[in-house]
Every structure is written in C-alpha cells, then in structure tokens.
Structure 1
Amino acid sequence: MDKDKREYFIYVKGKAVKVSEEVYKAYWKITEHEKYLIKKDWKNNVIPFSALDYDGHFVDNIIDERIDLEKIVEVKMQIEELNKVLATLTKKERELMEAIFYREESLRSISKKEKVSYQAIGKRRDKILEKLRKLLEDKF
C-alpha cells in the first residue's frame, strides 16, 4: 500500500475513528509519553493524586499512617519540658552541658581548659544529669 494512501485510525469508546496522519502521530506520541511517565512513576514509587480519591474522601485517603502524630506531639512536649528544666541550671552547669552535648567536647579537653581532672568534670556532668533526671521525672 502506498504511504500516501494509508488510512489512520484511533479508537474512541471502542469505535475506530478515521484521522489524519498528523493527528494519528500526535495521539501515539502522547500515549507513549504517558506510558513512559507511568513506568517512571512505578519505578520511583510515585502514586498519582487521582489514585487517592477512589471513594470521594480524598483528604482521608492521603493520611500517612507511618507518621505517629501522637508521638510527635509527645516528643515536642518532652523537648519543651527539657528546655524549661535546662533553664533552671546555673550558668556554670549550662556551660558544661553545652560543651559536652552541643559542641561535643571531650571531658579531657574541658578539664584542660578548667585546669581540673577529667574525673572531676565527669562527676560534675553526672551530678547535673541526675539533677535533670529528677526534675524531668517530676514532670512525667
């Protein structure tokens, strides 16, 4: 069959519809691109939003059950309480805790700066942590 005489059809609702070569090629270009995007989404575990609205309750269907909202709130409250308790420390106690836990300085480097033994720094740290533990126990 001569290329100029070829007829092109696309199917709409199960019926063949005769179209021009230009429309036919555009239709298949779009169709193949959609297939490519779907395969790419599957490969990357992407779910289209339309898949979440299967029962008319879109918002309820997008809830991520892997996130434990109660746990997040609980941890946030604990952090707030910890900040309140840390605020009760003396300046010297706070400086030691910041050096150890925020700046991650070793007990030896702190002891050299303060010209005391690292065991003394360790004892001060333990005493402060025990004080914080008791204060937090009272809160929870």
Structure 2
Amino acid sequence: MDKKKVILISHGNLSAGMMNSVGMIIGETKDLSCYGLQPGEMPETIAGAIEAKIDAQPDTQFIILADLLGGSVSNAVSRLSLRENVHLVNGMNMGLVIGILLHQGILSQSELDQLIDEAKSGMMETHLCFDESDDEII
C-alpha cells in the first residue's frame, strides 16, 4: 500500500460538516470523502458505494471513521474491515480526523492506535474560573 484515504460516515450531515470544518483548518484534500445517511436511505447503499471505491483502489489504505459505535451506518460497513487495507474506527472527532490526515504515508496499527488515544485524551470537560480582582478568565 502506498496511499491513504479517509472516509467519514455518519447519520445525517455530520460527516459533511466534519469534512467542511477539517478543510477550514488544514485545507481541502482529495484524500478525504464523506457519506451521510439521509432519512429513507438504506445504510447498505452507502456501504456499497464505499466498497466500490475500495475495490477500485486495492493498493490504498482506507480508514473509515464512523460517528457511532453500533450505529446503522457503521454496522453496514463493518464487514469491509475484514479487508487488510481497511480500518474502521467508531466515534470520530475532529482531532482524530486531522491527526490521520496530517500523518505522512500509511498508518501502522500502532500509529492508528496512538492517534485514537490522542483523540480520546483531547476530550475533557473544561471549567473556567473568573478572577474578579483582575477581570480575567483563568
């Protein structure tokens, strides 16, 4: 494998919004695409389109990032993760998408695991404190 492609999948327009937001930060890239399940659409339709894309590029690593573990879209594409060149990650967030796209070349399993761990560590509740004496937010 010599190239890497990232595919975002979600319910509704979440994946399109994520792709747009990522483009605002790192610029548009041809290595990122998205599919969003719309009301009345079957998840298998998305899975079929993704499978055709993977079949057309057998020497490319595909990292599929899904919005929700156990969601209908993720479940529909899960069988594709049996392929050597496909990774399916559930619970996408912007930090993970950017980290994967900025990584040069294909990802080893340990590199992907590290990026997932980094994305998880970027999620936390933040409490701001207001210091009345300085009128500053700390």
> TM-score scaled by structure 1?
0.23
What is the TM-score normalised by the length of structure 2? 0.24
Structure number with the bigger relative contact order (C-alpha 8 A, sep ≥ 6) is 2
Higher strand share: 2
| Bigger Cα Rg | 1
